Chains A and B, each alone.
Chain A
Amino acid sequence: MNKEYLGEFEELVLTMVGILQDDAYGNAIVNEIKDRVGRESNLSAVHVTLYRLEDKGYVKSYMGGATNARGGRRKRIFQVTNAGLAMLLARKEQQVELWKLIPRLNYDLMI
């Protein structure tokens, strides 16, 4: 298992965790994905992805406080770790580098 590898959906979820900050938990991420990218995602898929990211060390989680909503159940809040942040940054730079290599776009940018 190559730990450096990050899947497309994993990257999306990791980004959302970063965006949501202190309110990053399963259902919120599903909704956020829908709002921001208009993509329907499955709650269980998001959860499994979050746990996988946790295994890889890109996020860490803790239990939040209870509220009246959701049957009084606590939320599992996720936080991006330093490794996760580094990974996101590396991905971003990687993509920018790759972008630059596409000739027509380069041309557009230069104009």
Chain B
Amino acid sequence: MAKSNHSPSQNHFNHSQDRWLRFLRWFCPPALYEGIEGDLLEKFEEDVKLLGGKSAKRKLAINALKFCRPGIIFRNKFSNHLPEIDMLHNYFKIALRSLWRSKAHSFINVFGLALGIACCLLISLFVRDELTFDTFHTKADRIYRVYSREDWGENQQFFNTVTPFPMGPALKENLPEVEHEVRITVNTVQVKVGEQQFNESAMVAGKNFFDVFDFKVVKGNGHEVLLAQNNVVLSERMALKYFGDVDPINKTISVQLGETFENFSVKAITENTPTNSSIQYDILISELNNSKLFGERLLSSWFNIVPETYVLLREKTDPKIVESKFPPIFKTAMGEEDFTKSKYKAGLQPLTDIHLNTEFPTAIAPVSNPKYSYILIAIALLILIVGCINFVTLSVGRSLKRAKEVGIRKVVGALRSQLVTQFVGEAILITLLAMIIGIGLSILNLPLFNDLAGKQLLFSWDAFTWLVVLSLLIVIGLISGSYPAFILSGFKPVSILKGSIQGSTKQGLRKVLVGVQLMLSIFLISSTLIMKKQLSFIQNKNLGFDKEQLVEAQIIVPRTGRLTDRVKAAFVKIEQFKTELANYPDVVAVCGSSHDFGNGEWTNTGYTDEKGIYRNFAMNIVDEDYLSTLKIKLAAGRGFLKVNGADGRRGVIVNEAFAKEYGWTDAIGKKIPGKNFPDHEIIGVVKDFNFGSLYTKVRPLAMVENPAIILDGIENINIDNSPVPKLIVRLKPGNMNVALGHIKDTWKKIAGEEEFAFSFVDQAMAKQYKGDQNLGKIVNIATLLAVLIGSLGLYALASLAMQNRMKEISIRKVMGATDNSLLALLTKEYFLLIALCLLFSVPITWYLMKNWLSTFEYRVGISADIFLLAGGISLFIALATISFQTLKTVWTNPVKNLKYE
């Protein structure tokens, strides 16, 4: 019978679209809705006439919102007015009263739980970021990265997730299942914007990049940008850096790919790549530029691997079937002989598998160890458990105080299930309180956590956060509430009301719980101590060279010609620096070196020696001042001499590990035993120095001034980092800033407008251990929190125990017990408890820490003193906590506790 004929006067307002009315419809019981909405609309029509459309609309919103009140929302929700509603009222009141009555205990409960919850929330954000890596691409399930395996016989197995350049096109042309292929390389380039010049890394990608990956294009058209060679895509932050607030579209930047700068036109801006993306870029250009970046041979060879190749398979394609079609393609592409010899195999790794799979070698996409997530989850749970245990022990301990209430309720007719509901509900209420505080704490501490975890996480109220919050609420409430509820509801009313229940029940279980807390504390304390020891060991270990006071800067040379020419050009520039910097007394020494410290692997080479054994060694191209500048010590022979021209041409300096690999006692005058190496001679042996991180052993190393000696003789080369030399300068301690200013001036003189990007060697080296340093800090914080919560709980528990033993102690005192004997009596049991916990925690700590330490090649041992110290610390904390309560009890006048009335 309801007809809706809209009058023309109100056509400008479409009420079914109004979000406030939609909100009203959402919470309002359907039976009431029509009447209320009608009234609102009528009021609105009146207001339109009176006040005009705009403020009428605002009034409508306010009026609609005002309906959001319990009288409306809950109407008709409980169709029968059950007595339980009244009981709930009562439970709520009693819960608040008992919370309020014992403020200290409530505070300890809420505070402990809140800290645990805050840790859980933060870590859930972290874990989500790790687990959702790359899943934001809509076609993520169809995107794969190509990997390859080669097997050339003994010691020459290669497993790579970077591929040869011809791989992508070969797969696309021969397989109809491959919808698109995208090859990706990341290159260091010089970028000029106006007068300014920057040292940047640019991603070079195939033209279908935006058809495969979903990076949100904010301005411009992403899909067509990469079809033209001279187009460039910038991320929002890069656009801001270059152009500020000006609209960047169609602006020009110059990028140096080959010898000269070339103009690129900005055609699209994309959102900054999400933190949980394997593909990270700020500048993106088309692979049509590849010919300027890479040589002809590199682009066509099947055994030079450079780009990551991603393929997008068509829908409903089984990657296994696609993989099975690979061999014939490679056979034709690379020739039968090479294919058989290399036992070439390739496969597809799902995009979403890349981030957490440590079995595949790392290429451009970062890989993180899932262990890190597990450790963090474990830490969060530990803190939460400590908080929950506090809750359980305190509620059970306080149960006597509420025994009367339980008795009365039972007599009046409460069912056991009702009592359980009451106490579990109370627990959930406390958890809710803790939750609110915990959420606040986690939001406050998110920046700190981001810093430690190396992420840029944000706190947002999405479905995931709600899920975590609600499940924490229910799980914690049930776990910590159900045991006390079970104990409390189990009291027999008669014995309670007669007053025959004495002392605390279930002392045993509480001791076990406190024991678990202590064990966790000892475990965390000893882990912190061990980690501290290892981390300071890393900081202070003698690396075989002096890393302090060293500054380094990448020399910039045009990207043209062969790599060896570029290396040579850079050394020429370094010579200029040497002459110029020699004028300053603050500069102690200057040298050039292909590789620096803390920035990844040095060039690795491989060859088959005269006996047919495949050998690996690292190589570095240096100048004659290298050893003296870094203060590397010689074990035998001499360094390169400038006066001796032959050194530069044919001299090789190796490290002790190199000599050891070949079993040489005296390496001087020897040659590297491969048949293709040109004329050369080992002129010096240096003591081993850690040119890699302390996670790995010092590998055999050969240093040369003339790279041809090595390059002509090897069969394989693996260049992870640009071998274009770096300028390394040792400064005099003290006037750091003045000296840096000198270098900067010199840089301007020699390199002109090129960006002077320098770093300190010791800082760069420390960065390698950032992950573990941060883990150390996180464990440190966790330990503090756990110990704090644990001792608060212990404090509260001790005070309860003392209350129960008040009379006993008073009588003992009256009978002549001394303060000391009483103290000994009361604390004795805790000694025993701590000793027992120490015993249990040692194997766990030992096992886990052994595991962590084993990631370092150079590490400290785990010794007994650490556990004794950890035990001592926890004993001290525990006793300090307990003795406060104990002394208070012991020192009170016994009369006070013994007299009636």
A-B interaction: yes
Alpha-carbon distance A74/B43, docked complex (angstroms): 14
Q: B548 at interface (Cβ–Cβ under 8 A)?
A: no
Which residues of chain B from 1 to 26 have a CB within 8 Å of any chain A CB?
1-7, 10, 15
Pick the contact of B15 from A43, A68, A71, A75 — CB < 8 Å? Answer: A71
- Inter-chain contact A27/B15, CB cutoff 8 Å: no
Instruction: Answer whether residue A48 sits at the interface, using C-beta atoms and an 8 A cutoff.
Output: yes
Closest A residue by C-beta to B75 = A51
Residues on the A chain within 8 Å of B37, using CB: 71, 73
Bound: A30/B40 CA distance, A: 11
Q: Which of A27, A42, A68 has most B Cβ within 10 Å?
A: A27
Contacting chain A: which of B66-74, B203-211, B718-726?
Answer: B66-74
Chain B residue at minimum C-beta to C-beta distance from A75:
B38
Interface size on B (CB < 8 Å)?
28
Interface string of A6-18 (1 = CB under 8 A from B): 0000000000000
Task: Annotate A66-78 by CB proximity to B: 1 below 8 A, 0 otherwise.
Answer: 1011111111100
Q: What's the minimum C-beta distance from A24 to chain B, rounded to whole angstroms?
A: 12
Asked if B45 is at the interface of the complex by the 8 Å CB criterion, the answer is yes
Q: Which of A17-61 contact B (CB under 8 A)?
A: 25-27, 30, 42-45, 47-48, 51-52
B39 touches A47 (CB 8 A): yes
The answer to whether residues A70 and B67 also contact, given A27-B43, A43-B43, A44-B72 and a CB cut-off of 8 A, is no
B3 touches A72 (CB 8 A): yes
Q: Is the CB of A72 within 8 A of B6?
A: yes
With an 8 A cutoff between CB atoms, is B301 at the interface? Answer: no
Q: Which residues of B contact A72 (CB under 8 A)?
A: 2-6
Contacts of A45 in B (CB 8 A): 66
Q: Residue B36 at the A interface, CB < 8 A?
A: yes
Chain A residues positioned under 8 Å from B3 (CB to CB): 66, 72
Partner of B39 from the list A43, A48, A52, A63 (CB cut-off 8 Å) is A43
B36 touches A26 (CB 8 A): yes
Which residues on A sit within 8 Å (CB–CB) of B42?
Answer: 27, 69-70
Contact with A along B36-75 (1 / 0, CB 8 A): 1111111101000000000000000001001101011001
A74 and B34 contact, Cβ closer than 8 Å, known pairs A43-B39, A47-B67, A66-B2: yes
Is the Cβ of B41 less than 8 Å from the Cβ of A73? yes
Within 8 Å of chain B (Cβ to Cβ): is A103? Answer: no
**Docked-complex contact B1 and A65, CB < 8 angstroms:** yes
Minimum CB–CB distance for A15 against chain B, Å:
19
In the bound complex, residues from chain A placing their C-beta under 8 Å from that of B36 are 26, 47
Q: B741 at interface (Cβ–Cβ under 8 A)? A: no
Whether A70 contacts B63 by the Cβ 8 Å rule is: no
Contact A70 B38 (CB under 8 A): yes
Cα distance, A76 to B36, chains bound together (Å): 8
Residues on B with C-beta less than 8 A from A26 are 35-36, 39
- Select from chain A the residue with minimum beta-carbon distance to B65: A44
Distance in Å: Cβ of B237 to nearest Cβ of chain A: 47
- Is there contact, CB below 8 Å, between B69 and A48? yes
Most A-side CB within 10 Å, residue of B1, B32, B38, B67: B38
CB <8 Å contact, A52 and B2: no
Cα separation A80 to B4 with both chains bound (whole Å): 29
- B64, closest chain A residue (CB): A44
Report yes or no: A71 in contact with B1, Cβ–Cβ below 8 A. no
Q: B45, A69: Cβ atoms under 8 Å?
A: yes
Q: Which residues of A contact B71 (CB under 8 A)?
A: 48, 51-52
Residues in A neighbouring B40, C-beta threshold 8 A: 43
- CB pair B35–A25 under 8 Å, yes or no, is yes
CB neighbours (8 Å) of B39 from chain A are 25-27, 43, 47, 70, 75
Give chain B nearest CB distance to A77 CB in angstroms: 9
Look across to chain B and name the residue whose beta carbon is closest to the beta carbon of A77.
Answer: B35
Partner of A73, one of B10, B34, B66: B34
Residues of A within 8 A of B38 (CB): 25, 70-71, 73-76
A39 to B377, CA, bound (A): 60
Name the residue among A26, A68, A71, A74 with the largest chain B CB count within 10 angstroms. A71
Instruction: Kindly list chain A residues whose C-beta atoms are within 8 Å of the C-beta of B72.
Output: 44, 47-48, 51
Which residues, 731 to 782 on B, are CB-close (under 8 Å) to A? Answer: none
Looking at the complex, which one of B5, B15, B34 makes contact with A63 (CB distance below 8 Å)? B34
**Cross-chain pairs A/B with CB under 8 angstroms, 8 sampled:** A25-B35, A42-B63, A42-B66, A47-B32, A48-B69, A51-B72, A72-B3, A73-B41
Query: Residues of B with Cβ closer than 8 Å to A?
Result: 1-7, 10, 15, 32, 34-43, 45, 63, 66-67, 69, 71-72, 75
Considering the complex of A and B, which 8 residue pairs feature the smallest CB-CB distances, nearest first? A73-B38, A72-B4, A76-B35, A48-B71, A26-B39, A44-B66, A70-B42, A27-B39
Besides the contacts A74-B35, A76-B38, what 7 more A-B pairs have beta carbons closer than 8 Å? A25-B35, A25-B39, A42-B63, A66-B2, A69-B7, A72-B6, A73-B34
